[in-house]
C-alpha cells in the first residue's frame, strides 16, 4: 500500500502573536515552529496502515528549509521517505492545495492522510480541495478508521455524535484527535532520521484566490467584574446573569 501523509509546521501554541511590518502576516522572528498537532494523528494512522498492509509511508510537505526539520520529525516516527516541495511564496490554502495536488498526481497513492486542520489558520480546506482535484473521495474529521482490501469504513465526528462513512481507496482522510495515540519517536528513529534523504522538488506556481487585506488584534474586551468570593457571591451573579446579561 502506498500511503502519503501531508504535513505542515505551525507556531507553537505558546506563541505571542505579533503582527508583522506588512500589517497582514505575523512577525515570524522568535517563533518556534512545531509539527501541526493534528498531523501527528495522520502520521500515526499512516504507520498503522503500513504495519497492517505492508508498503511504504511517505511524508509530503510544501515549504522552505524550516520544513525539513518537520519532515525529520515524521521520519523519526517511522515514516519511510520524505518529500519537500520547495517554495517560499506566501500561499493561501487554495494554491497550497494546488501545488500538493500536482505532485500527488505523480505519486499514485492509495491513501492520502492529513490532520483535520492546521492550528494556525484553521482553514480545513486542503484535504477536500486535493481530493476534488485528484477525483477521489474524502472523509474528514475521522475518529475511527478501518481499511480492509481497499474498503474503508470510518467514523467521523458530527455535532452531538458520529457518522459512519463507507468509501473505497484511493481516498483522502483527515484525522481528528481521538483517532489514535501518536507514537513517540524512538532514539533509533531519531538517529536514522538524520541520515534519511529528503527528496526536493519545485512547487507548482502560486496563484492565490484569497487575499489578506489586513491583520489586527481582536478588540480588547471591557474589564469584567469580580462579583465576590465563595458561595456568598452566587445570588448576585445569578441576578447579573438574569437582569444585566440576560442570558438566563
Partner 1 sequence: MTKILAFAEQREGKFKKAAFEATQTAKKIADQLNGEAVALLVGDGVEGIAAQLGSYGAVKVIVAQDARLKNYSTTAYSKVIAEIAKQENASVIILPATQMGKDLAPRISGKLSAGLAADCTALKIEGGEIIATRPVYAGKSLVDIQVSSPVKIFTLRPNVFTATPGGNSSPAIQKATVNLTDADFSTKVTGIRIAEGRPDVTEAGIIVSGGRGMKGPEHFALVEKLADVLGGGVGASRAVVDAGWRPHDEQVGQTGKTVSPSLYIACGISGAVQHLAGMSSSKYIVAINKDKDAPIFQIADYGIVGDVFEVLPALTEEIRKLLGK
Stretch 186-215 residues interacting with partner 1 (CB under 8 A): 208-215
Q: How far is the CB of 67 from partner 1 (least distance, A)?
A: 19
With both helix axes pointing from N to C terminus, report the angle between 93-104 and 126-134 in degrees, rounded to the nearest 10. Answer: 40
Select from 51-59, 64-72, 104-112, 216-224 the region that touches partner 1 (CB under 8 A). 216-224
Among 1, 2, 11, 110, binds partner 1 (CB under 8 A): 11
- For partner 1, the binding residues in 31-70 under the rule CB under 8 A are 37-38
- For partner 1, the binding residues in 146-185 under the rule CB under 8 A are 155-168, 171, 177-178
Using alpha carbons, list the distances in angstroms from residue 10 to 26, 52, 97, 173.
12, 30, 17, 20
Other C-beta atoms closer than 10 Å to the C-beta of 228 total 12
Q: How far is the CB of 200 from partner 1 (least distance, A)?
A: 26
State the pairing for strand pair 9-11/33-35.
antiparallel
State the pairing for strand pair 111-115/81-86.
unpaired
Among 107, 110, 123, 204, binds partner 1 (CB under 8 A): 123
Q: How far is the CB of 140 from partner 1 (least distance, A)?
A: 5
Q: How far is the CB of 115 from partner 1 (least distance, A)?
A: 10
Among 125, 183, 190, 192, binds partner 1 (CB under 8 A): 125
Distance CA 15, CA 72 (A): 22
Distance CA 186, CA 61 (A): 22
> Between 84 and 129, whose beta carbon lies closer to partner 1?
129
Distance CA 77, CA 185 (A): 4
With both helix axes pointing from N to C terminus, report the angle between 66-77 and 37-53 in degrees, rounded to the nearest 10. Answer: 40
> Between 106 and 232, whose beta carbon lies closer to partner 1?
232
- For partner 1, the binding residues in 66-95 under the rule CB under 8 A are 92-94
Among 45, 109, 126, 203, binds partner 1 (CB under 8 A): 126
Q: Phi/psi of residue 213, each to 5°?
A: -85, -40
Amino acid at each position: 500500500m502506498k500511503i502519503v501523509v501531508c504535513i505542515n509546521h505551525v507556531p507553537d501554541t505558546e506563541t505571542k502573536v505579533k503582527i508583522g511590518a506588512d500589517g497582514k502576516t505575523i512577525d515570524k522572528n522568535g517563533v518556534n515552529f512545531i509539527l501541526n498537532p493534528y498531523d501527528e494523528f495522520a502520521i500515526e494512522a499512516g504507520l498503522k496502515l503500513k504495519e497492517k498492509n505492508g508498503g511504504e509511508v511517505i511524508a509530503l510537505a510544501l515549504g522552505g528549509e524550516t520544513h525539513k526539520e518537520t519532515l525529520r520529525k515524521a521520519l523519526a516516527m517511522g515514516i519511510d521517505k520524505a518529500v519537500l516541495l520547495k517554495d517560499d511564496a506566501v500561499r493561501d490554502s487554495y494554491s497550497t492545495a494546488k501545488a500538493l495536488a500536482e505532485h500527488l498526481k505523480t505519486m499514485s497513492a492509495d491513501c492520502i492522510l492529513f490532520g483535520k486542520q492546521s492550528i494556525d489558520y484553521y482553514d480545513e480546506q486542503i484535504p477536500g480541495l486535493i481530493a476534488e482535484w485528484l477525483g477521489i473521495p474524502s472523509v474528514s474529521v475521522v475518529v475511527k478508521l478501518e481499511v480492509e482490501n481497499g474498503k474503508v469504513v470510518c467514523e467521523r465526528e458530527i455535532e452531538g455524535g458520529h457518522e459512519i462513512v463507507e468509501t473505497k481507496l484511493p481516498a483522502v482522510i483527515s484525522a481528528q484527535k481521538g483517532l489514535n495515540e501518536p507514537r513517540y519517536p524512538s532514539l533509533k528513529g531519531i538517529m536514522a532520521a538524520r541520515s534519511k534523504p529528503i527528496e526536493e522538488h519545485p512547487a507548482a506556481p502560486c496563484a492565490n484566490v484569497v487575499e489578506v487585506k489586513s491583520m489586527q488584534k481582536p478588540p480588547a474586551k471591557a474589564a469584567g467584574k469580580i462579583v465576590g468570593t465563595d458561595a456568598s457571591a452566587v445570588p448576585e451573579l445569578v441576578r447579573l446573569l438574569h437582569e444585566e446579561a440576560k442570558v438566563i
